[in-house]
Structure 1
Amino acid sequence: MSADLETIVAEIAAEMAAVPVARRGVPASYIPELAKVDPGRFGLAVVLADGQVHVAGDADEAFSIQSISKVFMLTLALGKIGDGLWARVGREPSGNAFNSIVQLEAEKGIPRNPFINAGALVVADVLLAGHAPREAIGEILQFVRYLADDDSIVVDRAVARSETETGFRNAALANYMRAFGTITHAPELTLGVYFHVCALAMSCRQLALAGRFLALDGRHPGGRGRVVSAERARRIAALMLTCGHYDGSGDFAFRVGIPGKSGVGGGILAVVPGVASVAVWSPGLNAVGNSTLGAAALEQLARRTGWSVFAPPVQSPIDGAAR
Structure 2
Amino acid sequence: MPELEQALAEVAAEMAARTDRGSVASYIPQLGKVDPQKFGIAGVTNDGRVILAGDADQPFSIQSVSKVFTLTLALGKIGDALWQRVGREPSGNPFNSIVQLEHENGIPRNPFINAGAIVVSDVLLAGHQPREAIGEILRFIQFLADDDTIIIDREVAASERATGYRNFALANYMKSFGNLHHQPELALGVYFHHCAVAMSCRQLAMAGRFLANGGRN
TM tier relative to shorter chain: over 0.9
Deviations 1:167-209 (CA, angstroms, capped at 9, x unpaired): 0000000000000001110000000000000000000000000
* Partner Cα distance (1:51, 1:103) in 2: 41
* Partner Cα distance (1:209, 1:215) in 2: 11
Structure with a larger share of its residues in helix? 2
TM-score by length of 1: 0.67
User: Structure 1 vs Structure 2: percent identity of aligned residues?
Assistant: 72
Size of the alignment, in residue pairs?
A: 217
> In structure 1, what is the equivalent of residue 131 of structure 2?
134
> In structure 2, what is the equivalent of residue 3 of structure 1?
2
**Structure 1 position 26, deviation (Å):** 2.3
Deviations 1:285-308 (CA, angstroms, capped at 9, x unpaired): xxxxxxxxxxxxxxxxxxxxxxxx
The one-letter amino acid of 1:20's match is T
The one-letter amino acid of 1:63's match is F
* Partner Cα distance (1:167, 1:25) in 2: 23
* Partner Cα distance (2:5, 2:108) in 1: 41
Q: SS state of the match for residue 201, structure 1?
A: strand
For 1:40-55, what aligned pairs fall within 5 Å after superposition? 40-55=37-52
Is the CA contact 2:41–2:53 (under 8 Å) kept in the aligned structure 1? yes
* Partner Cα distance (1:92, 1:165) in 2: 30
The one-letter amino acid of 1:210's match is A
> In structure 2, what is the equivalent of residue 80 of structure 1?
77
> In structure 2, what is the equivalent of residue 151 of structure 1?
148
* Partner Cα distance (1:193, 1:9) in 2: 34
The one-letter amino acid of 2:54's match is G
Q: SS state of the match for residue 32, structure 1?
A: coil
Is the CA contact 2:22–2:37 (under 8 Å) kept in the aligned structure 1? no
- 1:16 paired with 2:23, answer no
For 1:273-288, what aligned pairs fall within 5 Å after superposition? none
For 1:115-134, what aligned pairs fall within 5 Å after superposition? 115-134=112-131
> In structure 1, what is the equivalent of residue 165 of structure 2?
168
Q: Which ranges of structure 2 fall in alignment gaps of 5 or more residues?
A: none
**Structure 1 position 110, deviation (Å):** 0.3
> In structure 1, what is the equivalent of residue 59 of structure 2?
62
**Structure 1 position 136, deviation (Å):** 0.1
For 1:147-226, what aligned pairs fall within 5 Å after superposition? 147-220=144-217
Q: Which ranges of structure 1 fall in alignment gaps of 5 or more residues?
A: 221-323
* Partner Cα distance (2:73, 2:4) in 1: 32
Q: Which runs of 4+ in 1 moved over 2 A?
A: none
Deviations 1:39-84 (CA, angstroms, capped at 9, x unpaired): 1110000101111111000000000000100000000000000000
The one-letter amino acid of 2:144's match is L
**Structure 1 position 36, deviation (Å):** 0.7
